[in-house]
Chain A
């Protein structure tokens, strides 16, 4: 048996185990390695969220993610929801859609997402007379439902209303509420829509 007989089905009797040549790795493979490493780092930097446990695809960074967070300004939305459901939902409905002949809708209403100074006045002093909400005129009266609430709670409920049911507007802070409350100086008279329009 010669050493040349090394085909499948024959047996090796002379052992000349294989060797590997010492030819170098082609340079272009290393070049490619560095190009791909560069691409990998670029790609990871761009979309990997840098190991942050709260960043999920398709978001790329914590900053981007925060842009899509409901604006709360440090106010608890959960608290706002609780206040809303105990104080306001009876008339305005839990989903903010209002109730016919009882109270106009809050979702999508300009009064809610618009000027904070007008909005804060409504629960603090109440509202009466004709008012146009989403193209429909209502002529009812709302008592000062928020006058008894603390600044924190009123800020929380208004902020909740401004970020729930598709509404998107920045938060209302307890300081803003306190400022308006001071400006009202114990006013008991409910506002009219026309009066509110005059406030910026």
Chain B
């Protein structure tokens, strides 16, 4: 080690998995960070309109009905999916002690993915949205994303197949299941809503089914897969335990996939009823995940603060559990309660999407990136700052909305109160939650800054090495002659 010069330590010695994942993940992750920024800015514009309806009211493409879905879809398809897939590929290569299969196709697949998201966001803003929540992207964007997924998914499966380490770790089952789960739900939902649409209410049922499968099951599989890797890795101990993780896995898959149909859905009673009981049963996955965190930490939660990725990961598991129980409260609330039609539901799905999944992805990105470049992030302090901004931002966004939703639900049941007054009553809560959105956005800038500087530093390293080698060669030639 000591014989090597500084620049060699920086880029030499990298594991084959890390080297092969470098450019594919640069493309997937930096594009993801771009969409994270774009998505959160669009969402923020949408939120501001609640306080100042005149704000950017003029151009049609910046109206609420377009910026809100554009922002949310940029968040899901622009940030969540590509970072999840990038981290999945890296984890499968690392855990299998192999290299990434098809690294070059993956680079192009990643580019195509981000182009597809671009087309989708522009499409939604220009009025081409499909009208199904979480599936708003128009067909041309969906085609690009699907083609790209084919490349990334196949690369994932091939990487898994060529693994040198035969024993499987928990994370691998979660990620492999996720690789197959997404194309199943995405193609089913797209075909049944847009290509050969089913009739009437069945379309809405397909939409609800897809949202629940994406947000609870798929996010759950990938997010927990990442967290279950980082916990033992960063704590330098075993995950507690293999069987508990298996329990979580099956509960999530068996029961989670039935959830999501609200009780007021105008469909035969068995559909919402099935959703209700499975939502409660999927609660076992939440308990299991909480137990895994608790036992792996040995009940010492202060250990989380030793590492920023652990902080993100711990927060993610907590959000997963809380959001899940919020969902259970929603289905168990009395027949007269319409919580699922209030801001409470928005709060819950945001906690699931951001508090859990995005936070787990941040944990993964902050951990994995330095493995790829062989250098720490240029501004390490900002990583912790990002955590605090994100954590307080999520709480500020979610808690007021949840409380506001409960108040709103109570007021809706009051016949004396006009609907407009009920809506106005939620305004204070919305204001506070917008502050949360601003904080999370600030955090995204910190992440973007670190990623930009890290890519810059990596490229600069490359140039320096090239120059140094060239100089040495020249000198040697000089000595020889």
Binding site for B on A (CB under 8 A): 1, 4, 6-13, 15, 17-26, 29, 32-33, 36-37, 39-40, 43-44, 47-60
A10–B273 CA distance with the chains assembled, in angstroms? 50
| Cβ distance A7 to chain B, nearest Cβ, rounded Å | 5
A20 and B307: CB pair below 8 A?
no
In the complex, the chain B residue whose C-beta lies closest to that of A22 is B242
A48–B269 CA distance with the chains assembled, in angstroms? 5
A58–B273 CA distance with the chains assembled, in angstroms? 11
Known contacts A7-B234, A49-B268, A23 near B241 by CB under 8 Å: yes
Known contacts A32-B284, A56-B269, A6 near B233 by CB under 8 Å: yes
Task: Report chain B residues within 8 Å CB of A4.
Answer: 236
Task: Report chain A residues within 8 Å CB of B295.
Answer: 23
A5–B268 CA distance with the chains assembled, in angstroms? 57
13 of the cross-chain contacts (CB-CB < 8 Å) are A9-B377, A12-B15, A12-B371, A13-B15, A17-B97, A20-B169, A25-B243, A25-B247, A29-B247, A44-B273, A48-B269, A51-B270, A56-B267
B272 near A: Cβ within 8 Å?
yes
Known contacts A8-B309, A21-B242, A54 near B268 by CB under 8 Å: yes
A6–B380 CA distance with the chains assembled, in angstroms? 15
**Interface residues as binary, B198-220 with A (CB distance below 8 Å gives 1, 0 otherwise):** 00000000000000000000000
B270 and A22: CB pair below 8 A?
no
* Among A10, A19, A20, A57, contact of B269 (Cβ-Cβ < 8 Å): A57
A13–B15 CA distance with the chains assembled, in angstroms? 7
* Among B13, B266, B308, B335, contact of A8 (Cβ-Cβ < 8 Å): B308
Task: Report chain A residues within 8 Å CB of B182.
Answer: none
| Cβ distance A62 to chain B, nearest Cβ, rounded Å | 11
B240 and A21: CB pair below 8 A?
yes
B259 near A: Cβ within 8 Å?
no
Task: Report chain B residues within 8 Å CB of A54.
Answer: 268
A52 and B284: CB pair below 8 A?
no
| Cβ distance B318 to chain A, nearest Cβ, rounded Å | 19
Report the 3 A-B pairs with minimum CB-CB distance, sorted nearest first. Answer: A18-B232, A40-B277, A9-B376
Task: Report chain A residues within 8 Å CB of B247.
Answer: 25, 29
In the complex, the chain A residue whose C-beta lies closest to that of B372 is A11
The size class of the interface chain B forms with chain A is: 35 or more
A51–B241 CA distance with the chains assembled, in angstroms? 38
| Dominant SS among interface residues on chain A | loop
Task: Report chain A residues within 8 Å CB of B169.
Answer: 17-20
In the complex, the chain B residue whose C-beta lies closest to that of A26 is B291
B119 near A: Cβ within 8 Å?
no
| Cβ distance B379 to chain A, nearest Cβ, rounded Å | 10
A53–B228 CA distance with the chains assembled, in angstroms? 42
Known contacts A25-B244, A56-B267, A18 near B233 by CB under 8 Å: yes
A8 and B367: CB pair below 8 A?
yes
In the complex, the chain A residue whose C-beta lies closest to that of B238 is A21
| Cβ distance A170 to chain B, nearest Cβ, rounded Å | 28
| Cβ distance A51 to chain B, nearest Cβ, rounded Å | 5
- List CB contacts (< 8 Å) of B260-277 with chain A: 263, 266-270, 272-274, 276-277
| Cβ distance B383 to chain A, nearest Cβ, rounded Å | 7
A43 and B308: CB pair below 8 A?
no
A126–B266 CA distance with the chains assembled, in angstroms? 47
A40–B270 CA distance with the chains assembled, in angstroms? 12
In the complex, the chain B residue whose C-beta lies closest to that of A50 is B270
